[in-house]
Chain A
């Protein structure tokens, strides 16, 4: 893993309220360059919501998010320009079903970044070659397995060379035997020094890959630190409880 640099992404007191339910109650978090930060926590603890707020797919109800020292929650900022600097991978892949795999990957480079279509295709093919999907380039997403679809979705997200990659429980929708191929791709990307903020239920994976683990509970970061500390010797009772349940389920 490359040495972490200065903070690329910073959340300060981020609040998100859905009608009367406060999902995020003031989240503070920072992700440094080349750092991999894993968000853990029970379902409903706000991991996905935090990622959606950071990626400007939701507006925050209070607090700020800074990307490279720019307050991206400022409504005067062009959100489309900010979103270009993120790559987002969703739990349910969200590939475009009416486009081939390679078209899914080249869409943003072509129409958002103005890359020449043939150049974009060449780059996409190189990317597909790296992730072992080159023979699926012209297939439609519904012809791919879940693991292949999720790898294609990751390729789509990194094709625009994002400043920060946001991964939202990328293996939760996969059959157990397909989880490995997706995790090994994420591990490879982390190894190449991508800055990653990910929500995950895979504690073993978080332990191996993350530089920092944040335990989210009821909309706040209760505990964060290196995986050995948060996962190995948690301070808070709620973190201990959560991890005990995971261990009982045989997931750590």
Chain B
């Protein structure tokens, strides 16, 4: 039958053996250098003159155990802000992106407003937005406007992140080839139908990995609402730090945020790889 039935030739077997030995050698090299680096870092830190002090103030297991419950309760608040915020950011970000992609002179005012919004909220530090919204809005003493730090903190986070996410969506929308729009319009689909049924589904696929990246960033930035005295994980830690003069609760909170971020980060990586494979002509 075919040459393949006989199995690989001796030449091919030799090539494979050579590649394997090369791969083994580079793996070992990488492993060794990593171990050496870790060892040096460990020895440098633990032999530093201030290390005993640092260990007791930042890595006290007893205090970590005692503060676990309040910090976890705070993290639950962060999670709520995260989920509500993420949904609102997705909606608002997409809306702003759509406004920015509108063509024609009649939409110029909307386009300009959306552009100014993005410029402002991408430029201004989140912490400043938090102060402005969290303390400025209640100071207006307007009837019916919420004054809770939870609501205003979420609003501030949404305002800032929507600007970033709008730009991601816009990039995705603009990455859809004009020929797709031409095909849709040639079938008689209106501008709106074309956007909804042809452009957006393709754009969202393209931008899912970068969006997840922004989601990971949002996961940690929700910790900043603690400046509005919302008892989230960071604020809960701060309270214990104030009582014990020990910073271990901050480290604990940081660790918990990392644990929260890891699954999303891995999911983002996975989707990026898949999107790349699809783009390079692989299967769906």
Q: Which residues does A use to contact B, with CB under 8 Å? A: 52, 55, 57, 80-81, 83-84, 86-88, 90, 92, 94-98, 107-108, 111-113, 140, 142-143, 156-157, 160
* Contact call B187/A94, Cβ cutoff below 8 A: no
Check A90–B185 contact: CB distance below 8 A.
no
For residues 167 through 224 of chain B, which have their beta carbon under 8 Å from a beta carbon of chain A? 179-180, 182-190, 193, 197-198, 201-202, 205
Taking a contact as CB atoms under 8 Å apart, the answer to whether A96 and B193 are in contact is no
CB distance from B176 to the nearest CB of A (A): 10
Q: Please, how many angstroms separate the alpha-carbon atoms of A113 and B189 in the complex?
A: 10
Contacts A83-B187, A88-B186, A112-B188; is A143 near B284 (CB within 8 Å)? yes
Minimum distance in angstroms from A201 CB to a CB of chain B: 19
Contact yes or no, B187 A160, CB < 8 A:
yes
Q: How far is the CB of A153 from chain B (nearest CB, A)?
A: 8
- Complex CA gap A111/B186 in Å reads 13
User: When the two chains form the complex, which single residue of A98, A112, A156, A160 contacts B193, counting CB atoms closer than 8 Å?
Assistant: A112
Other-chain contact of B185, A83, A96, A97, A142 (Cβ < 8 Å)? A83
Residues of A with C-beta under 8 A to B205 = 98
Are B197 and A90 in contact, with the CB atoms below 8 A? Answer: no
Which residues does B use to contact A, with CB under 8 Å? 179-180, 182-190, 193, 197-198, 201-202, 205, 281, 283-284
CB distance from A53 to the nearest CB of B (A): 12
- Contact across chains for B284 and A57 when beta carbons are under 8 A apart: no
Cβ contacts under 8 Å, B183 to chain A? 88, 90, 94-96
> In the bound complex, do residue B188 and residue A160 qualify as a contact, i.e. CB atoms below 8 Å apart?
yes
A96 near B198 (CB under 8 angstroms)? yes
Shortest distance in angstroms between B239's beta carbon and chain A's nearest beta carbon? Answer: 50
B113 to chain A, nearest CB (A): 27
Name the contact of B187 in the complex, choosing from A97, A107, A140, A142 (C-beta under 8 A).
Answer: A107
Q: Measured between alpha carbons, how far is A94 from B186 in the docked complex, in Å? A: 11
Chain A residues lying within 8 Å of B185, measured Cβ to Cβ, are 57, 80, 83
Contact A84/B188 with A94-B182, A94-B183 known, Cβ cut-off 8 Å:
yes
C-alpha gap A84/B184 in the complex (Å): 10
Contact A112/B189 with A96-B198, A98-B202 known, Cβ cut-off 8 Å: yes
In whole Å, how far is A82's beta carbon from the nearest beta carbon of chain B? Answer: 8
Contacts beyond the supplied A88-B186, A94-B180, A96-B180: 9 A-B pairs with Cβ under 8 Å: A84-B187, A92-B179, A94-B182, A98-B201, A112-B193, A113-B188, A142-B284, A160-B187, A160-B188
Residues of A within 8 A of B186 (CB): 55, 57, 83, 86-88, 157
Contact A90 B179 (CB under 8 A): yes
Q: Which residues of A contact B190 (CB under 8 A)?
A: 80
